[in-house]
Amino acid sequence: MKISAVISAFNEERNIERCLKSLAFADEVVVVDNSSTDKTVSIASKYTDNIYTQKNNPKEIDRQKNFGFEKATGDWILSVDADEEVSKELAGEIKKVLSAKPSALSAINGFWLPRKNYIFGKWIEHNTGWYPDYQLRLFRKGKGKYESKKVHQDLVILGETEKLKEHLIHHNYDSVEQYIKKILIYAPNEAEGLLSDGYQFSYFDVIRFPLADFLSWFFARKGYKDGFHGLILSMMQSFYHFLVFVFIWERQGFKEYDKEDFLKDTEGEFQKAGKEVAFWFGKEKLESIKNPLRRNLRKISVKLRGL
């Protein structure tokens, strides 16, 4: 089975060489350059002659990868971003899996790869939103493509898929500036997507959107287990959804709140938010108690204080 690795890149001179080195196991490497203005192409040319150029379209980052899939000549395609690298263990697993008897692969058209996200210098290991972060990246040629215009959508695969065990490494965000630049691309796209899906504008979603995201990342997905990194990332995700709402507000013409009791209504929203935060702190503290007897006593104590 011939493996084609496909990279779609825009101004990735800091990352692309590391990515290309990790793809030495592939039979073919295809690089689609989205009209970079830095040294991306000159660096890529040291590793492959299969370099193609297309116009950059930030609003369709994923769908632009389809162009590279069409240029690939392998039986299987491995889609990799320039800020990712294939671990040696994953490279070995891919070769082993794809070298199996054709009958063993006949029903499988794609594989999900677990991904390790390194953010601000640390592997975000405990937050289930960041790990294992399975990505559908290895697929039989002609059986997969991106269809949605939304940013960061999964490949659409025709047929069955399975999961691999070894890791794709994602050097996600090296700086706060890099994070902010990316969310300024993603947030307006998500705002447009929500509106096209029928979202009905509501003023106090400016509080509800970010709060729900913070509670999801910090508590429900156990972000607090990654320490201060987990707290910062949860707050930054919350800020992202604050921006999504603000972009929606902008598209609604910056509507003014026309009720008289604006301060009272705002106070009510923050009071509800405070209760939700208190609930989650209590819940996680309770779950951290390993001894069943102590946990039950804690439950009784909390109920008595609430009477």
Domain edge (last residue) among 113, 146, 173: 173
Same domain, 85 and 184: no
Q: Pick from 68-82, 185-199, 288-302 the range whose average pLDDT is largest.
A: 68-82
Same domain, 116 and 196: no
The proportion of the chain whose per-residue pLDDT surpasses 90, expressed as a percent, equals 79
Question: Does the pTM exceed 0.75?
Answer: yes
Same domain, 25 and 90: yes
Q: What is the pLDDT of residues 103-145, one digit of tens each?
A: 788 889 999 999 999 999 999 999 989 999 999 999 999 999 9
Q: Which of 41, 35, 42 is nearest to 57 (CA)?
A: 35
Q: What is the pLDDT of residues 204-218, one digit of tens each?
A: 999 999 999 999 999
pLDDT at 153: 72
Same domain, 207 and 106: no
Domain edge (last residue) among 131, 155, 173: 173
Same domain, 165 and 214: no
Q: What is the pLDDT of residues 43-81, one digit of tens each?
A: 999 999 999 999 988 777 788 899 999 999 999 999 999
Mean pLDDT of the chain: 92
Q: How many domains does the chain have?
A: 2
For the cut 90, the answer to whether the pLDDT of residue 197 exceeds it is yes
Asked if residues 72 and 4 have their Cβ atoms less than 8 Å apart, the reply is yes
Residue 7: beta bridge partners?
31, 80
Same domain, 233 and 219: yes
Same domain, 17 and 158: yes
For the cut 80, the answer to whether the pLDDT of residue 6 exceeds it is yes
Same domain, 111 and 202: no
pLDDT at 298: 61
3-state SS, one letter per residue, for the chain: CCEEEEEEECCCCCCHHHHHHCCCCCCEEEEEECCCCCCHHHHHCCCCCCEEECCCCHHHCCCCHHHHHHHCCCCEEEEEECCEEECHHHHHHHHHHHCCCHHHHCCEEEEEECEEEEECCEECCCCCCCCCCCEEEEEECCCEECCCCCCCCCCEECCEEEECCCCEEEEEECCHHHHHHHHHHHHHHHHHHHHHCCCCCCCCHHHHHHHHHHHHHHHHCCHHHHHHHHHHHHHHHHHHHHHHHHHHHHHCCCCCCCCCCHHHHHHHHHHHHHHHHHHHHHHHHHHCCCCHHHHHHHHHHHHHHHC
CATH number of residue 139's parent domain: 3.90.550.10
Average of pLDDT values for 227-250? Answer: 97
Average of pLDDT values for 280-289? Answer: 87
Same domain, 158 and 22: yes
Q: Residue 233 is part of which domain span?
A: 176-306
Q: Which of 117, 242, 100, 205 is nearest to 162 (CA)?
A: 100
